[in-house]
Chains A and B, each alone.
Chain A
Amino acid sequence: MDWRRFGFIAFIITILFSVVVLIGKAEISPVVIVTSMLATTIAVATPLTLGALCGVYCERAGVVNIGIEGMMLAAAFFGWLTAIYMNTVFGLAPMPSLLGGVAAAILTGGLLGLFHAVLSVTFKVDQIIGGTVINILAVGITGFLNRQLFFEKGSIFGGNVPHAPGVLPRIQIPLLADIPVVGRIFDQQPITFAAILLVIITHFVLFYTRWGLRTRSVGEHPRAADTVGIDVYFMRYANVIIGGMLAGLGGAYFTLESVPSFEPLMTNGRGFIALAAMIFGNWTPFGAWAAALVFGAAQALQINLQFFRESIPPQWAFLQISYVVGLAPYLLTMIILTGIIGKNIPPAADGQPYEK
């Protein structure tokens, strides 16, 4: 990840922020706007960040994973379902229910990772197909179960969706969160904090540990790894499963941290944007996170503009149409992926099954 990329990212984020500041400064002070934008950006970037980290683990080990979207969707559903079950059926308190939900989401992601590894590492099915299968499977299963369990007559919840046990509570980082105005940035929910921590951990694991060196070697030159006694299949399996678990945590964000409900297709392409973030971040954790923040900023723009709807000047009227702004993250994806800055170099053996 070179500095030009980070510069480019900072530049785009600045532009996005400036638009909101320019529109809203009549009503609210710029510092407050920027702080609130930042806090939102960091929060909404969470599933993108985790999805991108999933991609980093998989692809650094040489397995392309376009099933991140499906992994997140399935995890969002099963995490939520588990939380509800624990809360309403087993009568547990909201907090343990939510944590149980998060665990279930991680497990779901991990299992789908295992499934992807079986297909692509052991059976050497084309990895794009494996990922596509996961995406289709996730849409089908979550949609089906959602209807069967909650909306069909005679189903367990008998046609009425029970109250979810809410969402994960905010956590304030001591001292930092107490700073006036800016402290808002350090007042987030747990999965968001976890995502940032995981970016740092992944960077460390990948570039400073034995595990990381071996992971990268099987993604770059699996035969070389094999000749020094590294078990290529094991490394690929393990990393795809780890990646799946991270995507699962990202899925938990949707139903256990962001809103307390599930809707079919609610991941809405975030898994693919996460993939784009990983590529733009040149397969590095910090790069991927930075790119995820750009998309997060675009979404934050959308959210924040709603507050200032009335004050949008007439010549910028198009910003009042919500879907115009809603398109921003997707447009940015396309623009950024056309490779405005530098070359993206994937791991050399990315996507290639290894044959002994």
Chain B
Amino acid sequence: MTANIVLKAKGITRQFPGVLANDRVDFDLREGEIHALLGENGAGKTTLMNILYGLYRADSGEVYRGGQRVAFHSPKDAIKRGIGMVHQHFMLVPVFTVSENIMLGAETTRRGTLDRKAVAAHVRELSHQYGLDVDPLTVVGDLPVGIQQRVEIVKALYRNAEILILDEPTAVLTPQEAEDLFRIMRELTQRGVSIIFITHKLKEVLTVADRITVMRAGKVVGTVQPQETNEAKLAAMMVGREVILKVAKGEASPGENILQVKDLQVDDRRGLEAVRGVSFHVRTGEVLGIAGVQGNGQTELVEALTGLRPIHAGKVLMNSHEVTGKPPRPIIETGMAHIPEDRQRHGLVLSYPVADNLMLCTYYLPPFGVRGVIQPRAVDVNARKLVENFDIRTPSPYVPTSKLSGGNQQKVIVARELSRPIKLLIANQPTRGLDVGSIEYIHKEIIIMRDRGVAVLLVSAELDEIMALSDRIAVMYRGQIVATVAAAEVTRELLGLWMAGATPDKV
């Protein structure tokens, strides 16, 4: 194993106000390998990658590219040295087409005008060569995240990247899409591309990585080979203590119906039928899991239930009061909490301080709002309590939420929603982008909620999460619920089949 070292970081240190994001980090990447980088939320993975990509400057430390010391002043320099990066939050202009996004910054022109044709041809060629199916002419905003990710990869390849940094690429992918991505990654390494792969999913790491480096609180804890470790060991390395990967939960004792949905029909953004006559109920003290491959109407279903999307037909009853078509606030006031799928778009006001986001649903109610005036003391008390309880890593409750690491942003939402007196929790991908320690914590909280008599509707593309938390499981396929079963009576394989469209014999 004496392959060439193509990229090397030595003693990288980077301080942000109040946090030492990277503390004398050493990291290297060998030619043609997949080097996984693991670590808690806020461990400093993204920061390190942004430094390697020229987006941030290190306070001290050195970067070597192919044995040669380099100083990147902007991503332009990194791109020139063959480094490409797919960011945790995608860097695509939604109103541009795929080709426009791909060529941006590296445009091909003919007599002064953009040569869209040549770019499209090149994109088609690349996508064919690497099995990355993308249509160069569609507008990026219309594409599902899985495809947007391919666009990001093609964007890097278009710039002849020899080193590819993938920052949590699988967080937003369905299992099938993730499989696809792994195939692509292997294909790329075979062609000599070297990959840095960041993820929180330990299973993935063990299957695709050649080496694994773990970070904690800005420092590198160690580098291991996948064959000499396992999930539990990795989790312990990351968090610094034993993590219980399995959720401990007792029997559910469901009570009366809290949420009742009858023949619900909802259209998607383009006006096509996305939810086609769905009926179900959720009772107090139980978790109903909705399993399904992403894009089968779950997003629209949740948006309709939470008042974010108009309802075409059907009924929604909360606590046997009709809330069909009501705006979010009255629905929230009936005791609903919502953890949205897209944290940056629907869950947070990114420019607000963490403290304000932590009271966003109830700012107008005491103790936060008294006679129309916000009470800073109450906001502060609430913020400090939640930051502590939910282990939100932030230098202070008053930094803009945009400065938090992705996983910590998610925790802000979870903390806000779970800290109110609620009757129903609608959680859509509640642990997306979270590290194992935080997942453990949130899963525990959800079960505690359940045992306190809260009804929980859990939507997740992670089959493991559905299996671990649900008491009953409904499978959604093409806008309909094709099966509802008790969680104890079903296997992963069967669920997988139903999710793929096989019709169950018993319903």
Contacts and interface: CB of A to CB of B under 8 A. Distances in A.
Name which of B77, B85, B96 has the most chain A CB atoms within 10 A of its CB.
Answer: B96
Interface of A: 204, 208-210, 213-214, 216-217, 220-221, 223-231, 348
B91 interface: yes
Given A217-B104, A223-B91, 4 more contacts: A213-B103, A213-B104, A217-B96, A227-B53
A181 to B, nearest CB: 38
A208 B116 CA distance: 9
A348 B85 CA distance: 23
Interface in B105-129: 105-107, 109, 112-114
Interface in B71-115: 74-77, 79, 85, 87, 91-96, 100-101, 103-107, 109, 112-114
A204 B100 CA distance: 16
Contacts of A208: 113-114
Chain B: interface size category: 20 to 34
Interface string B43-78: 000000000010100000000000000000011110
Contact of B114 (A209, A217, A231, A348): A209
B92 A224 contact: yes
B79 A228 contact: yes
Contact of B105 (A209, A214, A348): A214
Given A214-B104, A225-B104, A209 B93 contact: no
A228 B106 contact: yes
B442 to A, nearest CB: 28
Nearest to B77: A229
B76 A229 contact: yes
A229 B74 contact: yes
A231 B74 contact: yes
12 contacts: A208-B113, A210-B107, A210-B109, A213-B96, A216-B95, A216-B96, A217-B104, A224-B91, A224-B101, A225-B104, A227-B75, A229-B79
Contacts of A214: 104-105
B105 A229 contact: yes
A208 B79 CA distance: 24
A220 B95 contact: yes
Interface in B383-407: none
A229 B83 CA distance: 12
Contact of A229 (B75, B96, B101, B112): B75
B74 A220 contact: no
Nearest to A230: B105
Nearest to A207: B114
Nearest to A204: B113
Contact of A213 (B85, B114, B155): B114
A209 B91 contact: no
A220 B97 CA distance: 13
B75 A226 contact: yes
B402 to A, nearest CB: 9
Contacts of B77: 229
B75 to A, nearest CB: 5
Contact of A226 (B55, B94, B95, B100): B55
A165 B347 CA distance: 63
A348 B94 contact: yes
Contacts of B101: 224
A226 B91 CA distance: 9
A226 to B, nearest CB: 7
A330 B77 CA distance: 51
B91 A221 contact: yes
Given A217-B93, A221-B94, A229-B75, A209 B104 contact: no
A348 B94 CA distance: 9
B137 to A, nearest CB: 15
Name which of A209, A220, A228 has the most chain B CB atoms within 10 A of its CB.
Answer: A228
A69 B79 CA distance: 42
A229 B113 CA distance: 20
Name which of B53, B77, B91 has the most chain A CB atoms within 10 A of its CB.
Answer: B91
Contacts of B93: 216-217, 220-221, 224-225
A37 to B, nearest CB: 37
A124 B284 CA distance: 50
Contacts of B91: 221, 223-224, 227-228
B431 to A, nearest CB: 25
Contacts of A226: 55, 74-75
A227 B94 contact: no
B105 A228 contact: yes
Contact of B107 (A213, A216, A221, A231): A213
A142 to B, nearest CB: 37
A250 B101 CA distance: 34
Contacts of B114: 208-210, 213
Contact of B55 (A220, A227, A231): A227
A221 B93 CA distance: 6
Contact of A228 (B75, B95, B109): B75
A349 to B, nearest CB: 10
A214 B76 CA distance: 14
A225 B96 CA distance: 12
B104 A228 contact: yes
A248 to B, nearest CB: 25
Contacts of A224: 91-93, 101, 104
Nearest to B57: A356
A217 B92 CA distance: 9
A227 B112 CA distance: 24
Interface in B297-333: none
Nearest to B106: A228
Given A224-B91, A229-B76, A209 B100 contact: no
Give the 10 A-B CB pairs with smallest separation, nearest first.
A229-B76, A228-B105, A224-B91, A210-B107, A227-B91, A208-B113, A221-B93, A220-B93, A229-B75, A229-B105
A213 B100 contact: yes
A209 B112 contact: yes
Nearest to B78: A229
Contact of B87 (A213, A220, A227): A227
A223 B55 CA distance: 10
A352 to B, nearest CB: 9
A220 B79 contact: no
B109 A209 contact: yes
A204 B113 CA distance: 9
B106 A227 contact: no
Contacts of A223: 91
Contacts of A216: 93, 95-96
Name which of A214, A221, A224, A230 has the most chain B CB atoms within 10 A of its CB.
Answer: A224
B85 A227 contact: yes
Contacts of B113: 204, 208-209
A220 B109 CA distance: 22
Nearest to A347: B95
A221 B55 CA distance: 15
A107 B94 CA distance: 36
